[in-house]
Amino acid sequence: IEQTFSIIKPDAVARNLIGTINARLEAAGFQIVAMKLIQMSRSDAENFYGEHQGKPFFGPLVEYMTSGPIVVQVLQAENAVLKYREILGATNPENAAAGTIRHDLAESMSRNSAHGSDSLSSAAREIGCFFEQSEIF
């Protein structure tokens, strides 16, 4: 059984979509094994998105991700990493398949409602950014 890391981003929290997204996750067979509502600090966001440092969208991305509360969560399922990327859809909602979270709910490329780890190793790193082992059930 695999775990992946998920963020319900500020645009989705602001539009009261926490329940909608969690319902989709549970219906897809994910167990939510850790979850909290937080606001990232600038250094949290710079560290979390470290691989994008230097790219033109890095500053706006950090600004946006720290702009309001987010939900961070650990999701458990068979093949959780790939399975979540599939139901999340492409980064740009205009390219996301019908029925995916981003196609149905996202506002734009930057305000794209949710994040899911892109590999097992990034899942482990990202979970460690926000959760102690004792907070994961």
Question: Nearer to ligand ATP by C-beta: 21 or 116?
Answer: 116
Residue 118 near ligand ATP by CB under 6 A:
yes
- Check if 103 is active-site: no
Binding mask 7-46 for ligand ATP (x = CB under 6 A): ----------------------------------------
Using CB under 6 A, which of 47, 79, 91, 95 touches ligand ATP?
91
Out of 115, 116, 123, 127, the active site residue is: 115
Local structure of 3: helix, strand or coil: strand
Distances (CA, A) of 36 to 25, 49, 72: 16, 19, 6
H/E element, 77: strand 70-77
Residue 61 near ligand ATP by CB under 6 A:
yes
The answer to whether 85 is a known ligand-binding residue is: yes
Q: Check: CB of residue 111 under 8 Å from CB of residue 104.
A: no
Using CB under 6 A, which of 20, 67, 76, 110 touches ligand ATP?
110
Least Cα distance to 21 among 34, 8, 10, 33 occurs for: 8
Rounded CA gap, 98 and 102, in Å? Answer: 9
The answer to whether 131 is a known ligand-binding residue is: no
Q: Check: CB of residue 136 under 8 Å from CB of residue 34.
A: yes
Question: Nearer to ligand ATP by C-beta: 109 or 120?
Answer: 109
DSSP 97: P
Binding site for ligand ATP (CB under 6 A): 57, 61, 91, 109-110, 112, 115-116, 118
- List residues with catalytic annotation: 115
